Chains A and B, each alone.
Chain A
Amino acid sequence: MPYDPSEPLKDRITDIGPRHYGEFLPPVIKKNKGKWLYHEITQPGVLVHVAESGDKIFSVRVGGCRLMSIEHIREICDIADKYCGGYLRFTTRNNIEFLLEDESKLKPLIVDLKSRKFAGGSNKFPIGGTGAGVTNIVHTQGWAHCHTPAIDASGVVKAVMDGIYDQFGSMKLPAPVRVSLACCLNMCGAVHCSDIAILGIHRKPPMVDAEWIDKLCELPLAIAACPTGAIKPAKTADGKKSLEVNAERCMFCGNCYTMCAAMPLADELGSGIAILVGGKLSNRISKPKFSKVVIPFIPNEPPRWPSTVAAVKNILDVYAKDARKYERLGDWAERIGWERFFEKTNIPFTHHLIDDYRFAYTTWRQSTQFKF
C-alpha cells in the first residue's frame, strides 16, 4: 500500500535502524568471520585474505568519488553481479571493494575495471589505495552542498588526486599517507589527524546584515557562539537591534555564522586553503598525533587549484625522498626537527604558524636543543 498523504501517520514504521550487516556478507565471509589468519597485498589495490579453514577472499579496491550518481552506482552493481556474485563494500575512505571468492575471475575483473572510462576521459575505477601509498582523500561537501565552506571539496580533491595519481596505484612511499580535506573548520571530515590535511579557512570577519539580523537570528546565541568574545550587542542608526564584531579579536572560525545566517564571512579573496601535515590516527610505533599548520593560506584557484596541488606534491616528494621506512610524515618531521622540515620543503615559516590559542605554550620550545 503506497503512502497516503491524507493520513501521514497511518501504518507508520519508525526506529527500525539500519539493515543487518549479515544480509550483505558474502558466504565465504559468513563462514570465516573472526577466523581470518592473514592477508597479503598481491599488487596495489588487490588483497587476498586467508582463513584458518584455508578459504580465501580476494578484494579489488578502486577509488570512488564520494559525490556519486545512481547511474554510476548501478554500473558498480553490474560489475559486482558479473564477477562477485553481487557482493561489494565501500571503505571508510570512499573506496569501493569488489569481493570475490573465485580467483579465476580476478584477472578479468581487473581488466574490465581498467577499461572503463567516463565520457570526459577519466578512469571510472582506478585500482589502488593499499599499503605504503596514498589512498583516496576523504572530504566534505564544499560548494556542492554546504552553506559554510571556504573552498570547494570535490574539485580540489579531483585536482590533487590527478596530481598525485601515481601514488594511489603504487606502494613506494616510506609509510601510508592519508590525505583529507575539510572545506571549513567545522571539519565534517575531521582532518585534524591526517598526514596531509587540506583545510578551508576564512580571513575576513563576518559582515553584519544589520537590517535583518534581529529577524533572522537569536542575537544572544550569536554572541555566545564567539569563542573570543568579539561580538557584542549594537543598535542601528534607526534603533534596530543588531550586533557588532570586534574585528581584531576575530579568529575567523565561522561559529557565529553557523548560529546566525545574517553574519556571512566567506569571501572571494578572504577565503582559501591552509595546509596541515604530520597527523596520524594509528597507534603504530608512535602515538596518534594532530596535524600541524605549515602553510597558513593558499588562495582559492578554481577550477584546478594549481598552488594547492603543487604544495601537496612538494611535501609528498620531499617526504618520500627523506623519510625512513615505516616513518609516517609526522614521525619524519619530528625526527629531523620542524626547522629542517621547513628547510627541506622550502616552505617559508611565518608568524601565522606559531600557536596563540588555548594550548599555545605547549607547542613552543622550552629547550636549547635546536638545529642551526
Chain B
Amino acid sequence: MGKHNTPMLDELEKGPWPSFVSDIKQQVENGKQILKDAPEDLLGVMELSYDDKVTHWKHGGIVGVFGYGGGIIGRYCDQPKMFPGVAHFHTVRVNQPSSKFYTAKYLRSLCDLWERHGSGLTNMHGSTGDIVFLGTTTDHLEPLFFEMTHELNQDLGGSGSNLRTPSACLGQSRCEFACYDTQEACDNMTHQYQDELHRPAFPYKFKFKFDGCPNGCVASIARSDMSVIGTWRDDIRIDQAAVKAYVGGEFAPNAGAYSGRDWGKFDIQKEVIDLCPTGCMCWDGSKLEINNKECVRCMHCLNVMPRALRKGLETGASVLFGAKAPILEGAQMSTLTVPFLPMESPFSELKELIEKVWDWWMEEGKNRERLGELIQRKSFQEFLRVIELGPDPRMVDEPRSNPYIFWKEEEVEGGWTRDIDAFRAKHQR
C-alpha cells in the first residue's frame, strides 16, 4: 500500500500494545475523510522524522475562528511539497464534557463532523483534557465551527494566553471517595468563564483542575494554576464489622488492587496502622480507633479498606494555587492556600476567589508569567493580601528559617521616620 515507504514506522506495528501506526493505516485504507491524503502524508512526514531524528513541523501561524483567540492551533509542515496532504495541518481543540463520559451516538456525530472537515485523526484526549481534532486546513475552520455549534451544540476549548479547558476526575459519578461534585464544578466554572476561555486577556495560560479527593487522579496539584482538591473536616466513618471482615480475610484489601502478588495475609497493624503518616490510628484486635483531629486525610486507610472506612460528611475542597511545568523557573506544585472551601453549586465562594486572583495576575503578571511564578516574585504574603486571606500555619511546611522579614512601617511602633539630630544629641559622631 501507500505512496510513502515507511519501513521504520512499520516496525511499530509489531508487539502487543495497540499500534497507532496500524490505526492510521486503517484510516488510510478505509477512511472517507475529506482531506483524503492527510493520514498517509502524516505517516510520510513521521517516517522522515524517524530517518533524520528531527521534527518537520513549523511554528503555528495565527489561525482561528472569528471572535475567538483560542481553540485552534496553527500547524504547518516544513516539507509541504513532499507531503501536500499535511502542508496545512491545524489542530482543533473541542471542549470535552466533564470527566469524559460519552454516548456512542455523540462520539459518532463528532467523527462524522471531523470526516467532513478534517484528517480523520484525533487525540482522545489532549494533555489538558480536550478532544483534539488533529489536522485540517484553514478553509474548513469556519464551516466546522458553524456545524459544531449549530448541529452538535458543542464549543471549542482553550489555547494561548486564555483559561485552558478545565478538567475533572470522574468524582461522584462513580467514585466513593469524591468529596464534592467535580463534574458539576468543572462544567459550571467552564460555562461561567467562556469569555476568559475563548478570548486571550491573561499574561499566559491558566488551568483549573478538579480532583474529588487527595488521591488526585486528575493531577491537579501538579498541572493546574488552581487546584481544587476534595476533602472533609469531620470524622472518618468506621464500620467496625467491616474492619473485622478485612482482618478476617472476608473482604479483599485495597479493593483487590494488589492481588497480583502473594503479599501474605492482610495485616492491619503493618499495612494500615503503622503506615498512617500521623500515627493517629490504633487497633486493639477488635476495634479500630482514629484520632480524627490528628488525621491529615492522606487516603491510605480508606484506599486499603474502602468497605470499612468512608470519608466524613462535612465535605468541601482545599484550594491550592500555582502549579506549572518547568518552563521557566522550574517545575512547581500548587501551594495550599484555602484549607477548606464549601463546594456547593453555583460555587460562589470559588468564583469570588478566582476573580480576585485573576485581577491581580492581570495587573501584575509579566508577559508569559504563570501565577505560580508571580506569587514567588511578589511573595506569598502579597498573594494572601490580594485574596484577603489571613496567614495560617497550614499554608507552610515550616516557618521561615531566615530572619529577613519585610516589616511594614505600620507594624512598627512609632513608624520609620526618625530625627537624626535627636539621635546625635545622644550619640556623638
A-side contacts of B190, CB under 8 Å? 17-18
**Residue interface bits B15-56, CB-to-A below 8 A is 1, else 0:** 111111111111100110100000100100110011011111
A-side contacts of B100, CB under 8 Å? 89-92
A292-326 at interface with B (beta carbon < 8 Å): 300, 302-304, 325-326
| Interface stretch (choices B115-123, B286-294, B352-360) | B115-123
Would you give the shortest CB distance from B148 to chain A, in whole angstroms? Answer: 9
Q: Are A162 and B99 interface neighbours, CB within 8 A?
A: no
Answer yes or no: A104 CB below 8 A from chain B CBs: no
| Interface stretch (choices B255-263, B379-387, B421-429) | B255-263
A-side contacts of B96, CB under 8 Å? 18
| Interface stretch (choices A62-70, A238-246, A334-342, A346-354) | A62-70
B-side contacts of A59, CB under 8 Å? 174
Q: Kindly identify which residue among A73, A124, A281 contacts B124, using a CB–CB cutoff of 8 Å.
A: A73
| Interface stretch (choices B325-333, B338-346, B388-396, B404-412) | B325-333
Q: A69-B122, A86-B104, A94-B124 are in contact. Are A281 and B216 (CB under 8 A)?
A: yes
A174-194 at interface with B (beta carbon < 8 Å): 176, 182, 185-190, 192-193
Q: A77 CA to B106 CA in the complex, in Å?
A: 9
Would you give the shortest CB distance from B60 to chain A, in whole angstroms? Answer: 7
Q: Are B326 and A192 interface neighbours, CB within 8 A?
A: yes
A-side contacts of B195, CB under 8 Å? 15
Query: Could you count the A-B residue pairs with CB atoms below 8 Å apart for me: how many are there?
Result: 435
**Residue interface bits A262-295, CB-to-B below 8 A is 1, else 0:** 0000111001000000000111111010100000
Answer yes or no: B223 CB below 8 A from chain A CBs: yes
Q: Are A41 and B256 interface neighbours, CB within 8 A?
A: yes
Answer yes or no: B111 CB below 8 A from chain A CBs: yes
Answer yes or no: A42 CB below 8 A from chain B CBs: yes
Q: Are A123 and B16 interface neighbours, CB within 8 A?
A: yes
Answer yes or no: B13 CB below 8 A from chain A CBs: yes
Answer yes or no: B375 CB below 8 A from chain A CBs: no
Q: Are B54 and A267 interface neighbours, CB within 8 A?
A: yes
Q: Kindly identify which residue among B54, B99, B149, B256 contacts A42, using a CB–CB cutoff of 8 Å.
A: B256
Q: Are A271 and B53 interface neighbours, CB within 8 A?
A: yes
A51-96 at interface with B (beta carbon < 8 Å): 57, 59, 63-74, 76-78, 80-81, 86-92, 94, 96
**Residue interface bits A114-138, CB-to-B below 8 A is 1, else 0:** 0000111111111000111100001
Q: Are B16 and A144 interface neighbours, CB within 8 A?
A: no
Answer yes or no: B362 CB below 8 A from chain A CBs: no
A288 nearest in chain B by CB position: B221
Q: A41-B257, A193-B222 are in contact. Are A227 and B329 (CB under 8 A)?
A: yes
Answer yes or no: B3 CB below 8 A from chain A CBs: no
Q: A253 CA to B195 CA in the complex, in Å?
A: 32
Answer yes or no: A14 CB below 8 A from chain B CBs: yes
Answer yes or no: B349 CB below 8 A from chain A CBs: no
Q: Are B142 and A8 interface neighbours, CB within 8 A?
A: yes
Q: A132 CA to B252 CA in the complex, in Å?
A: 14
A-side contacts of B296, CB under 8 Å? 283
B-side contacts of A281, CB under 8 Å? 216, 219, 221-222
Q: Are A147 and B58 interface neighbours, CB within 8 A?
A: yes
B121-161 at interface with A (beta carbon < 8 Å): 121-129, 134-135, 142-143, 146-147, 149-150, 152-155
Would you give the shortest CB distance from A175 to chain B, in whole angstroms? Answer: 8
Q: Are A92 and B24 interface neighbours, CB within 8 A?
A: no
Q: Are A90 and B102 interface neighbours, CB within 8 A?
A: yes
Answer yes or no: A107 CB below 8 A from chain B CBs: no
A-side contacts of B103, CB under 8 Å? 23-24, 80, 86-87
Would you give the shortest CB distance from B165 to chain A, in whole angstroms? Answer: 8
Q: A38 CA to B252 CA in the complex, in Å?
A: 12
B-side contacts of A65, CB under 8 Å? 18-20, 23
A160 nearest in chain B by CB position: B17
A-side contacts of B11, CB under 8 Å? 303-304
Would you give the shortest CB distance from A17 to chain B, in whole angstroms? Answer: 4
Q: A63 CA to B300 CA in the complex, in Å?
A: 26
Answer yes or no: B82 CB below 8 A from chain A CBs: no
Q: Kindly identify which residue among B46, B108, B167, B170 contacts A89, using a CB–CB cutoff of 8 Å.
A: B170
B-side contacts of A86, CB under 8 Å? 103-105
Q: A267 CA to B53 CA in the complex, in Å?
A: 7
Q: List 9 extra interface pairs beyond A17-B197, A140-B127, A158-B12, CB under 8 A.
A: A17-B190, A33-B173, A40-B256, A41-B257, A49-B174, A70-B111, A92-B100, A143-B50, A182-B325
Per CB-CB distance, the 5 closest pairs between chain A and chain B, nearest first, are: A120-B13, A131-B257, A162-B15, A187-B325, A172-B260
Q: List 20 A-B contacts (CB under 8 A).
A: A2-B147, A15-B198, A16-B153, A20-B187, A21-B98, A23-B103, A34-B178, A40-B255, A69-B121, A70-B31, A70-B111, A72-B26, A122-B22, A141-B123, A144-B46, A186-B327, A268-B52, A284-B299, A285-B277, A304-B11
